[in-house]
């Protein structure tokens, strides 16, 4: 399966999106991950979301750290520039890249070892800074590439494939990102594409630090009885707070849900999210409420999914820094060098 090259020819009847591209234009190389890996479903959801959003593939920069999840940017958006950086340090590279050119869409792909263990510092700080990005954490609670060690998101009491029981407290990346100031927070499940694709689309439209934690079972090392990140466990314990429909700005909004069940969330760019609320008491604009809700349901062993928090008026790092609209990487000596006359004045003051 993974060693077979994909045929290059496109079927003429494949549907094109508004930027005249078919879904195939959003694909990457053939995945080298294990068959059934949750990460491949996430890649497929990213492809679908980008195609449906009419994103131009070359206007995306996809960055990752090190690990199974971090290999995946090679498997989608083959025409985009990608950067497989350093273990746990994707957030800093993404931040710098974003500073250099604010006009691209930044996709950060990471895993639980990458973000919650070695990279928890950079994970926290990139959220604090409000870097405009879509940060996807493919969370399987385990180190796959090094064969089955626990990561920091593994639940206390969960069992590794070798039978070892994890005694450390897990890090809940959702709660952490909320606390650190991310302005769009969602959790999905790689096995539920219906819920996941609209979440990714909404995150792309969001301006600010958008974080999606996606529970993504590891079929090789964390899909056995006793694991809390297996397909079976998540399906049994999934507690979806809402289902999103994502409506781009130019389309007519058609609400087909009964009043009281659906709320409209208008995003900064004019796009609208329709949240089909599964829980009447859940308000995604209430940060403290979200924290409580997540903590309460987590204590009950439930995996809360859906759009958990969104701040539509979020400011991003460039707004904080008051940077010029033109990408910094396009500025020439004319903008950057203050010139000889200014230097002569400086010299004069230093005498």
Q: Could you say which of 2, 16, 103, 249 contacts other proteins (CB under 8 A)?
A: 103
Place of tokens 């020439």: 332
The minimum distance between CB 56 and other proteins, in angstroms, equals 7
Q: Could you say which of 22, 23, 24, 59 contacts other proteins (CB under 8 A)?
A: 59
Q: Could you say which of 104, 136, 142, 303 contacts other proteins (CB under 8 A)?
A: 104
Q: Could you say which of 72, 95, 216, 228 contacts other proteins (CB under 8 A)?
A: 95
125 contributes a contact to other proteins by CB under 8 A = yes
Question: Residue 228: which residues within 8 A CB-CB, separation 6 or more?
Answer: 141, 154, 155, 158, 237
Q: Provide the Cα torsion 65, 319, 273, 183; round to 10°.
A: 60
Q: Contact 177/116 with Cβ under 8 angstroms?
A: no
129 contributes a contact to other proteins by CB under 8 A = yes
99 contributes a contact to other proteins by CB under 8 A = yes
Q: Could you say which of 30, 35, 295, 342 contacts other proteins (CB under 8 A)?
A: 342
* Residue 350: burial class (beta carbons within 10 Å; 0-12, 13-18, 19+): exposed
The minimum distance between CB 82 and other proteins, in angstroms, equals 4
Q: Which of 42, 27, 229, 37 is nearest to 145 (CA)?
A: 37
Q: Contact 28/73 with Cβ under 8 angstroms?
A: yes
Q: Closer to other proteins by CB, 59 or 279: give it.
A: 59
The minimum distance between CB 80 and other proteins, in angstroms, equals 6
96 contributes a contact to other proteins by CB under 8 A = yes
Size of the site for other proteins (CB under 8 A): 62
Q: Could you say which of 167, 169, 194, 322 contacts other proteins (CB under 8 A)?
A: 322
Question: Residue 284: which residues within 8 A CB-CB, separation 6 or more?
Answer: 241, 242, 265, 275, 290, 307, 308, 309, 310
Question: Residue 121: which residues within 8 A CB-CB, separation 6 or more?
Answer: none
- The residue range among 40-48, 92-100, 154-162, 270-278 that interacts with other proteins, by the rule CB under 8 A, is 92-100
Q: Closer to other proteins by CB, 92 or 160: give it.
A: 92
89 contributes a contact to other proteins by CB under 8 A = yes
23: its two tokens: 């879904």
Query: Strand pairing partners for 222?
Result: 218
**CB-based burial, 37-55: b 16+ in 10 Å, e otherwise:** bbbbbbbbbbbbbbbbbeb
78 contributes a contact to other proteins by CB under 8 A = yes
The minimum distance between CB 87 and other proteins, in angstroms, equals 8
The site for other proteins (CB under 8 A) is made up of 29, 56-59, 61, 63, 73-74, 78-86, 89, 91-101, 103-104, 121-122, 124-125, 129, 317-318, 321-325, 328-329, 331-333, 335-340, 342-344, 346-347, 350-351
């Amino acid at each position: 399966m993974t060693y077979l090259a994909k045929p290059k020819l496109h079927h003429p009847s494949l549907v094109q999106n508004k930027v005249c591209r078919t879904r195939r234009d959003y694909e990457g190389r053939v995945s080298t991950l294990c068959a059934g890996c949750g990460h491949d479903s996430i890649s497929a959801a990213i492809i679908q979301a980008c195609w449906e959003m009419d994103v131009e593939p070359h206007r995306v920069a996809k960055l990752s750290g090190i690990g199974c999840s971090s290999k995946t940017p090679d498997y989608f958006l083959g025409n985009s520039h990608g950067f497989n950086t350093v273990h746990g340090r994707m957030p800093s590279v993404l931040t710098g890249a974003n500073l250099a050119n604010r006009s691209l869409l930044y996709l950060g792909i990471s895993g639980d070892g990458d973000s919650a263990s070695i990279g928890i510092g950079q994970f926290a700080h990139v959220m604090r800074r409000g870097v405009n990005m879509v940060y996807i954490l493919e969370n399987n609670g385990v180190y796959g590439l090094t064969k089955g060690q626990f990561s920091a998101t593994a639940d206390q009491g969960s069992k590794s494939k070798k039978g070892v029981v994890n005694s450390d407290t897990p890090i809940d990346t959702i709660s952490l990102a909320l606390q650190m100031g991310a302005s769009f927070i969602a959790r999905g499940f790689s096995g539920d594409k219906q819920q996941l694709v609209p979440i990714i689309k909404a995150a792309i439209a969001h301006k600010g630090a958008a974080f999606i934690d996606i529970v993504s079972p590891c079929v090789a090392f964390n899909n056995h009885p006793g694991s809390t990140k297996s397909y079976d466990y998540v399906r049994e314990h999934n507690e979806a707070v809402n289902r999103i429909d994502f409506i781009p700005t130019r389309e007519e909004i058609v609400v087909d849900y009964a009043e009281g069940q659906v709320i409209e969330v208008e995003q900064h760019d004019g796009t609208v999210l329709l949240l089909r609320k599964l829980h009447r008491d859940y308000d995604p604009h209430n940060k403290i409420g979200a924290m409580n809700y997540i903590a309460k349901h987590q204590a009950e062993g439930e995996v809360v999914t859906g759009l958990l928090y969104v701040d539509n008026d979020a400011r991003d790092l460039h707004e904080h820094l008051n940077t010029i609209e033109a990408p910094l990487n396009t500025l020439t000596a004319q903008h950057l060098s203050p010139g000889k006359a200014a230097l002569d004045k400086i010299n004069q003051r230093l005498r």
